[in-house]
């Protein structure tokens, strides 16, 4: 695998810097206050006690009606959790906290401009806003349980309010990251069958008030072309009452949400008791084909899993100030800004901007001011902060007891900076490995129980039983440091239920490779294959090596190479396109794009720019390639397959290997010189 080769190199580098036995221990102060310090939790969650063990998580929630069947496998591998149970996520994240925590901050919103005041949304205020918004969605937009709604919003408090309002009604929300283009949003609208789009006029990023409403028209047009009509667009305004976008509102389709919701002032909407397996949301993620997959999460299982992991792994206590710097438009934000922390009645901080604007001290000023003590971010951000201001944290008077890293493998030296400088040597760190599909953490140390090992995610979570398989389905013996494909033997409540509208793809992508018997209704025959390579050390800790499929993890965001290539192929001049991941100091991996031209066209900067622009329009700026190389021809096998492995070796200045069997070996050297220069 291309990715694998690169990763093996960085593994070797890790080995030089870090010895397996060099653990770092959480402080006694941390352990003394930790939510979970009982090692028997792993026995309670052993396979012998499966699936009943997960009652311990579900019991953190309020249920209208208890379930009769913990796990129903009759439609394997579409697992149903807590069947017979009735629950509502909005009630669990809002209403149930009113008796004791009405005046407590649920959300603290930090706008990007430093001269704008923080907005504190108490649980009472959240309750009012969620109710009024639910009334608007039900009575103005005509939404009811089971309908889907697409939400294309940036980091503003209205975003979790809208999500919780949907959850209250049983409306299935599909939040699309604001950085995605209108076109990408439109494809997701069409796939989910949403007739309502909720958007925003503008938001701040790096000092600019970016227009966002302009994406609405493209989104609605793309959805229409795919057969899905959007009849209502609700547009929130960054400054209510003042429209900050240039794009005109469309009469009879676009409405100012802040205006409409005021018609519902004082409305109350009872949370709908929903069957535990009712879908809570869809979250689209990239796969190996051009089309993103709508991962469908069910309310009872998902909420139980994120509540449990937020309590035990994030170690959230009532008096903590918890700040996860992810965007709510990704799964981390859903699980660990909104649903996990709020289900526990915690205070969750939301930040509009980027952590390095206006300078590398911004994040630490926020931490100092709000007295944040739990901090959660991704390796890419840590690398950026380290580069922009390695000594900044020391200038600010904040103290974290706990920090998280998530989304990509973290290099031990970056981990050590995070620990020593950001955490001031005091914070316990968890490196959490999981995915959009898995709802919550799969591997992580339990911070009050395990020592930390930089660069290793840690052991499996309680109730998660991984196995490493080789390509042929043989089990790699545990603890042998031998790389293979990591799978999970058993279902757990946080796992997604299916791919929206595509059960076959769900089975094919995640289960087919290691399924022991496709007819079986026994979960033991259906190990879950997440698509990552991993190895396990003798101490039981897993080191995640990265994707083994055609997905590139760019700055912790998943992009399918096919999506990028299809976007390049929409440019008139382009005949062929191939994308490979190239290692990047800050962003982990970034895409390098190789294209060849149709006859009659000449290479020019204009053509490369067109490719980049097309990717920005079709996917979004996050997918922008590092380079676009216009090559005379792609290196190909005799059967005409593009050799991405060769291109990857060229991009990453690695050994190219034997190319004599290719159809056009001479082209390899030409491309190499183009990319690396002579020599």
Q: Which is nearer to ligand WTA, 15 or 673 (CB)?
A: 15
| Contact characters 387-406, ligand WTA, x per CB under 6 A | -------------------x
**Cβ of residue 573: shortest distance to ligand WTA, in angstroms?**
33
Phi, then psi, of 676 in degrees rounded to 5: -100, -10
When binding is defined by CB under 6 A, the residue of 109, 339, 434, 511 that contacts ligand WTA is 434
614 binds ligand WTA (CB under 6 A): no
| Contact characters 266-305, ligand WTA, x per CB under 6 A | -------------------x--------------------
Q: For residues 557-576, which are near ligand WTA according to CB under 6 A?
A: 558
Q: Which is nearer to ligand WTA, 125 or 327 (CB)?
A: 327
Q: What is the CA radius of gyration of the chain?
A: 24
**Rounded Cα–Cα distance for residues 175 and 285 (Å):** 11
Q: Which stretch binds ligand WTA (CB under 6 A): 179-187, 339-347, 407-415, 594-602?
A: 407-415
Question: Distances in Å between the alpha carbon of 236 and those of 68, 153, 158, 254?
Answer: 42, 9, 8, 10
Contact 13, 450 (CB under 8 A): no
535 binds ligand WTA (CB under 6 A): no
Number of other CB atoms surrounding residue 118 within 10 Å? 15
440 binds ligand WTA (CB under 6 A): no
457 binds ligand WTA (CB under 6 A): yes
411 binds ligand WTA (CB under 6 A): no
Contact 474, 487 (CB under 8 A): no
Tokens describing residue 44 = 């309670």
Q: Which stretch binds ligand WTA (CB under 6 A): 330-338, 501-509, 521-529, 630-638?
A: 330-338
| Contact characters 212-241, ligand WTA, x per CB under 6 A | ------------------------------
When binding is defined by CB under 6 A, the residue of 77, 160, 179, 530 that contacts ligand WTA is 530
**Rounded Cα–Cα distance for residues 368 and 50 (Å):** 43
Q: Which is nearer to ligand WTA, 348 or 436 (CB)?
A: 436
**Cβ of residue 407: shortest distance to ligand WTA, in angstroms?**
5
**Cβ of residue 546: shortest distance to ligand WTA, in angstroms?**
5
**Cβ of residue 409: shortest distance to ligand WTA, in angstroms?**
4
458 binds ligand WTA (CB under 6 A): no
Rounded (5°) CA angle 365-368-370: 105
Q: What is the DSSP letter of 604?
A: -
When binding is defined by CB under 6 A, the residue of 125, 431, 565, 592 that contacts ligand WTA is 431
550 binds ligand WTA (CB under 6 A): no
When binding is defined by CB under 6 A, the residue of 133, 309, 348, 436 that contacts ligand WTA is 436
Helix (H, G, I), strand (E, B) or coil at 426: coil
652 binds ligand WTA (CB under 6 A): no
When binding is defined by CB under 6 A, the residue of 544, 552, 568, 590 that contacts ligand WTA is 544
**Cβ of residue 254: shortest distance to ligand WTA, in angstroms?**
31
**β-pair type (374-377, 402-406):** parallel
Q: Which is nearer to ligand WTA, 448 or 531 (CB)?
A: 531
Q: Which residue is nearest to ligand WTA (CB)?
A: 436
| Contact characters 332-371, ligand WTA, x per CB under 6 A | x---------------------------------------
Contact 622, 554 (CB under 8 A): yes
Please, what is the end-to-end C-alpha distance for the chain in angstroms? 26
Phi, then psi, of 88 in degrees rounded to 5: -140, 130
Residue 608's nearest CA partner among 593, 618, 622, 586 is 593
Residues 6+ apart with CB under 8 A from 335: 306, 309, 310, 439, 440
Residue 322's nearest CA partner among 402, 381, 405, 386 is 402
**Cβ of residue 335: shortest distance to ligand WTA, in angstroms?**
8
Number of other CB atoms surrounding residue 80 within 10 Å? 22
314 binds ligand WTA (CB under 6 A): no
When binding is defined by CB under 6 A, the residue of 72, 112, 277, 532 that contacts ligand WTA is 532
Tokens describing residue 317 = 């206590």
Number of other CB atoms surrounding residue 33 within 10 Å? 14
**Rounded Cα–Cα distance for residues 418 and 593 (Å):** 32
446 binds ligand WTA (CB under 6 A): no
Residues 6+ apart with CB under 8 A from 517: 525
**Cβ of residue 544: shortest distance to ligand WTA, in angstroms?**
4
When binding is defined by CB under 6 A, the residue of 129, 547, 644, 672 that contacts ligand WTA is 547
**Sign of torsion over alpha carbons 541, 547, 552, 558:** negative
409 binds ligand WTA (CB under 6 A): yes
Residues 6+ apart with CB under 8 A from 508: none
Strand order, beta sheet including 532-536: 466-469, 484-488, 532-536, 542-547
Q: Which is nearer to ligand WTA, 122 or 332 (CB)?
A: 332
Binding residues for ligand WTA, rule CB under 6 A, total: 23
3-state SS string for 178-211: CCECHHHHHHHHHHHCCCEEEEECEEEECCEEEE
Q: For residues 122-161, which are near ligand WTA according to CB under 6 A?
A: none
Q: Which stretch binds ligand WTA (CB under 6 A): 104-112, 158-166, 274-282, 530-538?
A: 530-538
Residues of this chain that interact with ligand WTA (CB under 6 A) are: 285, 330-332, 406-409, 431-436, 457, 530-532, 544, 546-547, 553, 558
């Amino acid at each position: 695998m291309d990715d694998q080769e690169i990763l093996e190199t960085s593994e070797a580098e890790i080995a030089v810097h870090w010895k397996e036995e060099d653990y770092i221990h959480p402080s006694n102060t941390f352990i003394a206050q930790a939510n979970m310090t009982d090692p028997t939790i792993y026995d309670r969650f052993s396979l012998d006690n499966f699936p009943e063990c997960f009652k311990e998580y579900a019991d953190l929630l309020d249920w209208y009606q208890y379930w009769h069947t913990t796990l129903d496998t009759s439609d394997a591998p579409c697992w149903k959790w807590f069947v017979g149970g009735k629950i509502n996520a909005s009630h669990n994240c809002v209403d149930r906290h009113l008796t004791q925590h009405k005046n407590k901050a649920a959300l603290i919103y930090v706008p990007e401009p430093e001269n704008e005041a923080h907005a504190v949304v108490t649980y009472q205020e959240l309750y009012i806003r969620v109710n009024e918004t639910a009334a608007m969605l039900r009575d103005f937009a005509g939404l009811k349980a089971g309908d889907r709604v697409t939400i294309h919003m940036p980091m503003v408090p209205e975003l979790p309010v809208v999500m919780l309002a949907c959850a209250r009604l049983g409306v299935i929300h599909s939040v699309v990251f604001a950085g995605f283009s209108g076109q990408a949003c439109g494809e997701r609208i069409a796939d989910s069958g949403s007739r309502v789009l909720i958007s925003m006029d503008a938001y701040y990023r790096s000092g600019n008030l970016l227009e966002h409403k302009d994406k609405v028209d493209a989104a609605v047009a793309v959805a229409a072309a795919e057969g899905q009509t959007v009849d209502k667009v609700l547009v929130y305004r960054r400054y209510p009452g003042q429209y900050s976008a240039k794009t005109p509102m469309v009469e009879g389709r676009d409405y100012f949400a802040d205006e409409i919701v005021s018609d519902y002032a004082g409305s109350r909407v009872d949370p709908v008791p929903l069957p535990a397996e009712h879908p809570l949301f869809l979250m689209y993620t990239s796969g190996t084909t051009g089309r993103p997959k709508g991962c469908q999460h069910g309310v009872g299982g998902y909420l139980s899993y994120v509540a449990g992991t937020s309590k035990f792994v994030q170690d959230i206590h009532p008096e903590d100030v918890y700040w996860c710097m992810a965007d709510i438009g990704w799964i981390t934000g859903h699980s660990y800004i909104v649903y996990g922390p709020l289900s526990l009645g915690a205070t969750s901080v939301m930040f509009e901007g980027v952590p390095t604007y206006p300078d590398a001290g911004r994040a630490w000023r926020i931490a100092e001011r709000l007295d944040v003590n739990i901090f959660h971010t991704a390796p890419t951000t840590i690398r950026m902060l380290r580069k922009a201001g390695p000594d900044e944290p020391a200038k600010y008077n904040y103290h974290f007891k706990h920090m998280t890293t998530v989304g990509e493998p973290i290099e031990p030296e970056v981990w050590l900076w995070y620990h020593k400088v950001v955490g001031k040597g005091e914070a316990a760190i968890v490196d959490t490995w999981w995915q959009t599909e898995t709802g919550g953490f799969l591997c992580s140390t339990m911070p009050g129980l395990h020592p930390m090992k930089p660069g290793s995610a840690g052991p499996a979570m309680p109730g998660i039983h991984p196995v490493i398989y080789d390509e042929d389905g043989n089990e790699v013996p545990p603890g042998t440091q031998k790389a293979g494909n990591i799978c999970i033997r058993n279902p757990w409540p946080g796992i997604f239920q299916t791919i929206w509208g595509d059960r076959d793809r769900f089975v094919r992508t995640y289960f087919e490779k290691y399924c022991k018997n496709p007819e079986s209704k026994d979960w033991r025959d259906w190990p879950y294959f997440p698509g990552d390579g991993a190895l396990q050390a003798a101490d039981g800790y897993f080191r995640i090596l990265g994707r083994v499929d055609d997905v590139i993890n760019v700055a912790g965001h998943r992009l399918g190479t096919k999506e990028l290539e299809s976007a390049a192929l929409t440019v008139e001049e382009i005949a062929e396109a191939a994308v490979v991941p190239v290692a990047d100091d800050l962003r982990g991996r970034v895409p390098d794009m190789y294209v060849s031209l149709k006859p009659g066209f000449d290479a020019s900067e204009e053509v490369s720019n067109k490719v980049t622009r097309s990717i920005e329009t079709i996917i979004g700026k996050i997918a922008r390639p590092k380079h676009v190389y216009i090559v005379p021809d792609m290196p190909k096998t005799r059967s005409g397959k593009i050799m991405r492995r060769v291109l990857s070796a060229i991009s990453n200045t690695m050994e190219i290997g034997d190319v004599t069997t290719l159809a056009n070996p001479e082209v390899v050297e030409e491309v190499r010189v183009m990319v690396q220069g002579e020599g």
